[in-house]
Structure 1
């Protein structure tokens, strides 16, 4: 996509649940609307946090509940089928494809620009697209920067702590404090519920490369 100038009534940065709702409502009010997203429509909740994490937790919690029910313990007293659990997670997130979300966005007549959006002056947004192009968006009314739109950047600050089971060599719990930590929830859920050994956690592949820095710092702190 080459350099392009477009004008809308409303520009929404971030296509998570809030961004999608803002875009749908402004369009329903008769305002021309465009939504900017550099990843997948639906945002962290649909693909990296809420939904996949619940898909991973449900079998663990279901088994734990069944073990407490008289007559069921022997039926479930065996390890989880990790491959099946992960396959179910993949189905829930539609294998990280957002075709259905794109179809919905088209059905409500909201335009989509894929890429990294940044403010470039009053009511101005510049989007760097995946193919190296640039789209310049102007808005007649406002720019909506919604929750989840912020991505990690140089100078990011936050806190993270791990609770390690030293006997088993696994992570028993993780606490994250800071902006945009939802992406970490997914990898933390896999780490804790799957009882990934510390030495193997070094090779874990999180949702985005920048997130691996958080895990590496936690591991370096633990080893130190």
Structure 2
């Protein structure tokens, strides 16, 4: 290794994904000199192996499903999808795995990009080891922000490395549909990728250790998605874990807890995420390598006055939009502290990530879509709130019938009976991802139920489900 120089900045950001980019954008907007350190592609997981490629893959699949529910159009879309065209569009949305555009944007903010592996070597000090071995030292006058995200967690199965399993990266960037695919897991990645590859022609088997899918949402969300997957030809097996996995002559063989042997061409493990903090030098500042980083609402790491952790790495909400939200908060907090101005870190203050606690939205882009914000009924009850769940079927909504013949979906709002606000809202059905922001506004804004009656939904749209929910609350 060759030591070159030491460069001083106001802020050093470790990780150039959406969270890191947005921290840099906010600190640069405040006039602070900022460096971003990235060892892979600038733009991170979301741009190349998660949000953008997965949704590009899913969009034509969902559009075809919607079209097939409309007489007069259904007969025009009965053939198979053009797999290569779908994959080519995916490639475009993943920028063909080149980050030139992201680099242009970042440098346009005035931030400096340092390519290489960044590592803390003490308070406010980071070394960057470039691919050629050259080491540069960066010092931070005000803050270091850890925005390194997560990577896929793989189970501890003997010989797994020799199987070359897929994770979310391989599943979203594959160049062809495997003939047979085993998906292990029942969460967002598992359900979305099962949807994708089944629609593109793969025989898909999903193995779920638990009782059902999407277990962090209301139970009916997973049930409706499971019904749709099995209806599409997916072999869904719940209460089933993997006991062993091998690969021989290109064929993957799994033995399940039920004693079944399943063969496939590829196997995807979608079994959770772990933080990318194992080789960041956390031990040099008194923190545990490989750990999630605990933060306050200004995203500052507990026990420090200079270290921030933003996005997935703090384990608050492993979602791109929440990481970007946190980045805006953290950037503003870093700038305020640097300027010596008062910190507005009380609930819903501009320097507090309050929404992380009770107003986190998420959309699962399966067919049907599942979208939720805030607390589920079970979560609200565990938190000690006195609540009531109000459910309606989308069959009662005129706009749903117009959207698609045989529209199947359900909505729930979790009503706090004491504060008379919404603690959570869940929608399941085609197109409901575009409804969730209205629910997010209601939950985050703590809008009284009595006032929601005056937010009149346009007729005939899916949003009329709000009126049906309020009527069900009133009448039952």
Question: 8 Å contact 1:53–1:185 — kept in the other structure?
Answer: no
Matched residue, 2:200? 194
Partner residue of 2:186 out of 141, 157, 175: 175
Cα distance in 1 for residues equivalent to 2:120 and 2:193:
30
Give the drift of 1:37: 0.8
Structure 2: stretches of 5+ with no match in the other structure = 157-178, 206-244, 263-476
Question: Secondary structure of the residue that 2:54 maps to in structure 1?
Answer: helix
Cα distance in 1 for residues equivalent to 2:253 and 2:113:
39
Give the drift of 1:196: 3.3
Cα distance in 2 for residues equivalent to 1:93 and 1:216:
31
Superposed CA deviations along residues 16-41 of structure 1, whole A, max 9, x for unmatched, are: 11111110111121111000111111
Matched residue, 1:38? 39
Matched residue, 1:87? 88
Is structure 2 residue 36 aligned with structure 1 residue 25? no
Matched residue, 1:132? 133
Question: 8 Å contact 2:81–2:200 — kept in the other structure?
Answer: no
Question: Secondary structure of the residue that 1:54 maps to in structure 2?
Answer: helix
Cα distance in 1 for residues equivalent to 2:184 and 2:29:
44
Question: Secondary structure of the residue that 2:140 maps to in structure 1?
Answer: strand
Cα distance in 2 for residues equivalent to 1:145 and 1:186:
29
Give the drift of 1:192: 4.7
**Structure with higher helix content:** 1
**Equivalent residues, number:** 192
Matched residue, 1:111? 112
Matched residue, 1:123? 124
Matched residue, 1:203? none
Cα distance in 1 for residues equivalent to 2:22 and 2:119:
20
Question: Secondary structure of the residue that 2:122 maps to in structure 1?
Answer: coil
> Alpha carbon RMSD of aligned pairs, Å?
3.4
| 1:187–1:64 CA distance, 2 compared to 1 (3 A) | closer
Give the drift of 1:90: 0.6
Cα distance in 2 for residues equivalent to 1:78 and 1:23:
47
Question: 8 Å contact 1:49–1:186 — kept in the other structure?
Answer: no
Question: 8 Å contact 1:49–1:185 — kept in the other structure?
Answer: no
Matched residue, 1:72? 73
Superposed CA deviations along residues 2-56 of structure 1, whole A, max 9, x for unmatched, are: 4232111100011111111110111121111000111111111111100111100
Cα distance in 1 for residues equivalent to 2:193 and 2:38:
22
Cα distance in 1 for residues equivalent to 2:119 and 2:22:
20
Question: Secondary structure of the residue that 2:123 maps to in structure 1?
Answer: coil
Cα distance in 2 for residues equivalent to 1:101 and 1:5:
25
Cα distance in 2 for residues equivalent to 1:31 and 1:188:
45
| 1:78–1:172 CA distance, 2 compared to 1 (3 A) | farther
| 1:141–1:185 CA distance, 2 compared to 1 (3 A) | farther
Question: 8 Å contact 1:127–1:136 — kept in the other structure?
Answer: yes
Question: Secondary structure of the residue that 2:53 maps to in structure 1?
Answer: helix
Give the drift of 1:174: 3.8
Question: Secondary structure of the residue that 2:186 maps to in structure 1?
Answer: strand
Question: 8 Å contact 2:120–2:127 — kept in the other structure?
Answer: yes
Cα distance in 1 for residues equivalent to 2:53 and 2:202:
17
TM-score normalised by length of structure 1: 0.72
TM-score normalised by length of structure 2: 0.36
Matched residue, 2:146? 145
Relative contact order: is structure 1 or structure 2 higher (C-alpha 8 Å, sep ≥ 6)? 1
Cα distance in 2 for residues equivalent to 1:133 and 1:186:
41
Question: 8 Å contact 2:197–2:204 — kept in the other structure?
Answer: no
Report which of the two structures shows the higher radius of gyration computed on alpha carbons. Answer: 2
Question: 8 Å contact 2:15–2:37 — kept in the other structure?
Answer: yes
Question: Secondary structure of the residue that 1:18 maps to in structure 2?
Answer: helix
